[in-house]
Amino acid sequence: MKNNTRTQFKKLIPVFIVLILVGCSSNRFKAEKLFWQAEKKASKITKGKLQEDLTDKDINKMISAYRKVVSSYPLESLAAQSQFVIANLYISQKEYDKALAELKSVIQNFSSRPKIASAAQFGRAEIFEKRGMTDEAITEYQKVVDLYPLTPLGLSTPLYISQYYKRLGDTEGQRKARRQAVRNYKKLIFDYADTEVATMVQNYLAQAYLQQEDWDEAIKVWDEIIIKHPDTPQAIRSLITKAELRARELDDLEGAIKIYQDCIKKYPKAEFLKEIKLRLADLYLENSQIYKAKDTYSLLIKNYPNDEDLILRSRLGIINCFKKQGLKDEVVKGYWDIQKTHPETTAAISTPYLVYRYYKKIGDSQNEKIALSRAIAGYEKNFSVNKKDKENLTTARLLFLCYSEKKDWDKALSLLRDLADNNPKDPGFLLSMAVIYSRELNESGKAKKIYQEIINKYSDNKALVKLIKEQIVSLDESLLERNTGK
Amino acid sequence: MKLAINIWKRTVIALCKNRKLLVPFVISAGFSGLVLYILYLAPSRPVSLVLAPPIRAFFGEKFLHYPYSIYLLPKLFYYAQLLVNSTIGLIMTGLAIGFVKDAYNKEELKTPADLAVSFKRYFTLLGIWAIMFLSMFVISELVKRAFPAEANQLLIDCLVYIAGILAQLVFIYAMPIAILEKKGFLGSLKQGFLFFKKFFFTTIVLIIVPAAIYLPLLILNQYVPKLINKLWPEVVIIALGLGILATFIIDIFFTCAPAFLLLQNKDEK
């Protein structure tokens, strides 16, 4: 009897295993599969079409593909994502009521997931805004603030409402909204005092003061964060924002420099210390404290020998110091040094062109000509039509700029033709050719020919074709104007 | 050539007469299929409890979602297959060689006894398998590196596959010798190599012809990305499933034919 039971149990083991494995495929995974299929179908329908080219039939097909996800797995987050897509498709059909209903269903299905529900609520408000129904829009936006106060949208919407009033030109409404935003943030800070939420909301409060251009109050909020949470990343962030406010809005470079100096002293192990030091050097330069700027850049080069990017930026900073001092030879030497020390970088490749631009800027016409010839010779030597790497393309672009500066349009056009033939995915070279023909050489016929070539080659890119057709029309119009003027 | 045809004939007749001879190969292929299914379920619970953390750590969160989880399957299956081959696969190979001996002696296939021998010789088999795998890996890498990146991928894949098979051929008799003559690791390798040298051309014909079954799959693999685009990502699973089927057939000839040749040669002596 016992043996019989054991044998029967053994026979059932594979059945159990199969049952367990069959039951494994989760709803999330199945929903992902359906969503992927919907995305694929949608991309097939929209391929090569502009939004306005889509027919109602196309849109309905897409809606029914996404609807499958919603009806099969209504509580999966991808169902919500599908409903957002459906709502947008309804909006494109101007079926606003259907879009509103779709978003309402998201709010109902995902009431326990505030991030999703708040996005749907915000979407409803946007629809009213789009339709010009201001009161309804404001009511819906306010719901985002009241119902989902701690979500990213709940926190940013008070600021958005004030911007909305600004766009409407309603100064009184904007003033009220700003006051309301400040009240809202202060209440949240009070409700969640001494928690991380309070610190997060304080940043929004500072933003609200910035919107009001109430710089002092914003600085007060940041100071509070720095005092309350002195050793946190938020404190460093607040210090930096405060410094930037002083530098950009209050023209107080001295104040900004002092904050950065304090920040470096207080947080010698801060994650972005080298960036802070670089910014301090830039501010010294801006404030005409050339020697301090040079010292700081030099120290950065010395202290961070492995950070190629930082060293390059510091070297460029030192060149800017020389520029401000009017040390022409030092500036040029600095550029050529970069070419030697950072040969693989864009800055190094750009050096001959930058030297030429510098001479041009300071009005040294003799050196300007020499530098341009030297740049062209160098770029012509390094450029190879067949190579397709990034450096070669950068060289080609710089060579084109040099030809343009020299107004050597024959060479510029020949270079662009080579580039267009070797980079068939990039219509930019042909576009530049057309621009040279139409604007520099006044050869509208040739420009139109090039535009036609773009249309033929990139017929799939509807947006580009539309733009080119507009260019051809404007070319025809200007030609007509010129002829009738004659 | 004649000898090779004679051995194939023997193998097919033995398989027809003793269906049980197929069992070890069915079990190996079955395990591979099961592993493939489990890997397919990796993003779903409860399999995800075990597999999701390493996938997340080594490949990224993206590969726990459709369709990327499917795109990752060939890589994961390759690693899992190594594990299956070096454990259950080796035990089943040992058992199959034991069965071949029983069939050759016209005796009844003795599962428990042959299985016991296979278990006893496991570490010797594992050593031989490791040597075969390493030589195949090194040769394949050398062939891959010999071609520039822009060379025809199908040609490279075919050459890599053929080179891998040829690299394994040198040691193809080592496992049957370890089981049938109960030799140690080095002894099996040495004797196996000498036997391979003696029957060089016969071995090549004996193995290369069934190995060619895999070539259409290499061609199919070239079109998998296009098929995914046109049909669905699950094409990857179909390709892997066909790979298991082809391996099942190839394994039968890779295991039974050398064992029959070895036994026949011993008798002739």
Quote the DSSP letter at residue B264: H
- Cβ–Cβ under 8 Å, residues A132 and A164: no
- More confident: A321 or B160: A321
A267 Cβ neighbours under 8 A, 6+ residues apart: A236, A273
Dihedral in degrees, nearest 10, Cα atoms A89, A90, A91, A93: 90
pLDDT reported for residue B147? 77
Alpha helices in A383-427 (DSSP H): 390-406, 409-422
- Let me know the angle formed at the C-alpha of A94 by A88 and A95, rounded to the nearest 5 degrees: 80
Q: How many CA atoms lie within 13 A of A224 on its CB side?
A: 17
- Taking the CA of residue B42 and the nearest CA in chain A, the distance in Å comes to 9
pLDDT digits (tens, 9 = 90+) for A37-62: 888 888 888 776 677 777 888 888 88
Tell me which of A5-19, A349-363, B123-137, B252-266 is least confident. Answer: A5-19
Q: Whole-angstrom Cα distance, residue B173 to residue B207?
A: 12
What's the structural domain count of chain B?
A: 1
Model confidence band, residue B224 (pLDDT cutoffs 50, 70, 90): confident
Better pLDDT: B227 or A411: A411
CA separation, residue A189 to residues A57, A182, A213, B32 (Å): 51, 10, 21, 58
Which amino acid is present at A224?
Answer: E
Among candidates B47, B67, B69 on the partner chain, residue whose Cβ is nearest the Cβ of A24: B47
Residues of B in contact with A81 (CB under 8 A): none
**Per-residue pLDDT tens for A238-254?**
889 889 988 888 888 99
Task: Supply A14's token pair.
Answer: 């594979």
Question: In 3-state terms, what secondary structure has residue B188?
Answer: helix
Mean pLDDT in residue range A433-443: 88
Distance (Å, rounded) from C-alpha A118 to C-alpha A160? 14
Q: What is the DSSP letter of B44?
A: S
Residue A284: the pLDDT is 94
B115, B63 in Cβ contact below 8 A? Answer: no
Write the CA distances from A369 to A358, A362, A375, A403, integer angstroms: 12, 13, 10, 12
- For residue B139, name the pLDDT band (cuts at 50, 70, 90): confident
Residue count of chain A, please give it.
Answer: 486
A-B Cβ pairs (cutoff 8 Å, strict):
30
Asked if omega into B67 is within 30° of 0 (cis), the reply is yes
> What's the whole-number mean pLDDT along residues B249-258?
88
Mean pLDDT computed over A122-149: 91
Is it the case that residue A288 has pLDDT exceeding 80? yes
- The residues on B that touch A, with CB distances below 8 Å, are 37-38, 41, 43-48, 65-67, 69, 232-233
Which residue in this structure is represented by tokens 């020949």?
Answer: A414
CB contact set of B113 (below 8 Å; sequence gap of 6+): B98
Return the pLDDT at A399: 93
User: Which H helix or E strand runs over A121?
Assistant: helix A114-130
- Other Cβ atoms closer than 10 A to B259: 28
Chain A positions touching B65 (Cβ under 8 A) are: 32
In this structure, of A12-16, A345-349, A389-393, B22-26, the range with the lowest mean pLDDT score is: A12-16
The answer to whether the Cβ–Cβ distance between B45 and A21 falls below 8 Å is no
pTM summary value:
0.69
Give the highest mean pLDDT range of A87-96, A214-223, A310-319, B182-191. A310-319
Does position A384 have pLDDT exceeding 90, yes or no?
Answer: no
Nearest to B45 among A26, A35, A36 (CB): A26
- What single-letter amino acid sits at B209? V
Q: For residue A328, how far is the Cα from the chain centroid?
A: 37
The full length of chain B comes to 269
Q: How far is CA A93 from CA A52, A55, A97, in A?
A: 10, 9, 11
Residues of A in contact with B38 (CB under 8 A): 21
- Interchain CB distance below 8 Å, A25 and B38: no
Q: Which residue has the higher pLDDT, A230 or A179?
A: A179
Q: A64 — contact with chain B (CB < 8 Å)?
A: no
Give the model's pLDDT for residue A3. Answer: 56
**pLDDT surpasses 70 at A16:** no
Does B38 contact A21 at a Cβ distance shorter than 8 Å? Answer: yes
Which tens digits make up the pLDDT trace of A208-225? 888 888 888 888 888 888
Radius of gyration of chain B (CA): 20
d(CA B245, CA B217): 11
How high does pLDDT run on average in chain A?
86
Mean residue pLDDT across chain B? 86
Arithmetic mean of pLDDT, B105-124:
85
Q: What is the mean pLDDT of residues A322-335?
A: 90
Average pLDDT of the segment spanning B49-68: 86
Q: What is the mean pLDDT of residues B36-47?
A: 86
Structure tokens at A437: 């023909």
For residues A455 and A468, the answer to whether their CB atoms sit within 8 Å is yes
Query: pLDDT for B77-97, tens place per residue?
Result: 999 999 999 999 999 999 999
Average pLDDT of the residues in A277-301: 93
Is A357's pLDDT higher than 70? yes
Is the CB of A25 inside 8 Å of chain B's CB atoms? Answer: yes
Angle formed by the axes of helices A390-406 and A346-362, nearest 10°: 20
pLDDT reported for residue A1:
47
pLDDT band at A155 (very low <50, low <70, confident <90, very high): very high
Determine the residue type at A151: T
Contact A33 B66 (CB under 8 A): yes
Please say whether the beta carbons of A411 and A373 come within 8 A.
no
Q: What percentage of chain A carries pLDDT values higher than 70?
A: 93
Give the pLDDT confidence score for residue A260 in this predicted structure.
92
pLDDT interval class at A484 (50, 70, 90)? low
Q: What is the pLDDT of residue B63?
A: 87
pLDDT band at A158 (very low <50, low <70, confident <90, very high): very high
pLDDT score of B26 more than 60: yes
For residue B111, give its domain range.
2-268
Q: Closest Cα to residue B251, out of B172, B181, B174?
A: B172
Nearest 5°: phi and psi at A214? -95, 75
- Cα angle: A78, vertex A82, A86; to 5 degrees: 170
Reading the block at residue B26, the tokens are 């069915």
User: What's the pLDDT at A25?
Assistant: 61
Single out the residue of B258, B131, B254, B121 nearest to residue B195, CA to CA: B258
- The least confident of A137-151, A191-205, A400-414 is A191-205
Instruction: Give which of A27, A35, A36 to mutate to test B binding, by max B Cβ within 10 Å.
Output: A36
* Mean local confidence (pLDDT), A139-166: 92
Range of lowest pLDDT (A80-94, A370-384, A454-468) = A454-468
**Interface test mutation site (partner A, options B36, B44, B237, max chain A beta carbons within 10 A):** B44
Q: Which of B47, B65, B232 sits opposite A32 (nearest CB)?
A: B65
